[in-house]
């Protein structure tokens, strides 16, 4: 295994960091309308598609910590949530023999909704009985899902092209 192959996880992490910045940039543009973009399941799905368990594990942890550093929430919250989601998806992938990767778009959407729902309950504990809160949540998750449908193909293609150019011997999507 060449040096670049060994460090392919690092390039997937760079791709994730790019997505995090773009996500925050779009969220900033939408902020005057009270909207927020959440497409974090892409950060979990890309390592599942392209890396081994250990490589993906570190990419998911670092991506989570990267997001946590900018947010007023307990540090490590995203990292732990992502890891749980990553483990579940990894388990399902092996149990259903490639089912998660085959239906990557659907899995990403479901994971994203579940993650955002978890955050809504964990962070907005004091607001969970407010109708306005849930209406806002539905608007944001609807918009995020639409945008994710539009970009997930692009993002996976970007990540795949980076890793493919580095890892010649490894069969992708195996």
Which residues form the interface with other proteins (CB under 8 A)? 21, 24-25, 27-28, 31-36, 53, 57, 61, 65-66, 68-73, 75-76, 80, 83-84, 87, 90-91, 94-95, 119-120, 123-124, 127, 130, 132-133, 135-137, 139-140
| Residue with Cβ nearer other proteins (141 or 166) | 141
| Residue with Cβ nearer other proteins (11 or 166) | 11
Specify the long-range contacts of residues 5-10, CB closer than 8 Å, at least 24 apart.
5/166, 5/167, 5/168, 5/169, 5/170, 8/50, 8/51, 8/55, 8/163, 8/166, 8/167, 8/170, 9/47, 9/51, 9/55, 9/56, 9/58, 9/59
| Residue with Cβ nearer other proteins (131 or 150) | 131
| Residue with Cβ nearer other proteins (72 or 168) | 72
Beta carbon of residue 153, minimum distance to other proteins (angstroms, whole number): 25
Beta carbon of residue 59, minimum distance to other proteins (angstroms, whole number): 14
CA torsion 75→79→80→81, rounded to 10°? 110
């Amino acid at each position: 295994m060449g040096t670049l192959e060994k460090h392919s996880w690092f390039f997937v992490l760079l791709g994730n960091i790019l997505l995090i910045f773009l996500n925050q940039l779009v969220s900033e543009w939408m902020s005057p309308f009270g909207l927020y973009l959440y497409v974090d399941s892409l950060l979990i799905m890309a390592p599942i598609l392209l890396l081994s368990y250990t490589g993906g594990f570190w990419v998911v942890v670092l991506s989570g910590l990267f997001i946590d550093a900018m947010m007023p929430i307990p540090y490590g919250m995203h990292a732990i949530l992502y890891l749980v989601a990553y483990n579940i998806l990894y388990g399902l992938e092996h149990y259903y023999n490639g089912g998660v990767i085959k239906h990557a778009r659907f899995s990403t959407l479901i994971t994203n909704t579940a993650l955002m729902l978890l955050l809504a309950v964990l962070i907005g504990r004091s607001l969970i009985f407010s109708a306005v809160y849930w209406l806002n949540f539905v608007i944001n998750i609807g918009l995020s899902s639409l945008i994710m449908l539009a970009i997930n193909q692009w993002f996976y293609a970007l990540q795949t092209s980076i890793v493919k150019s580095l890892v010649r011997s490894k069969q992708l999507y195996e």
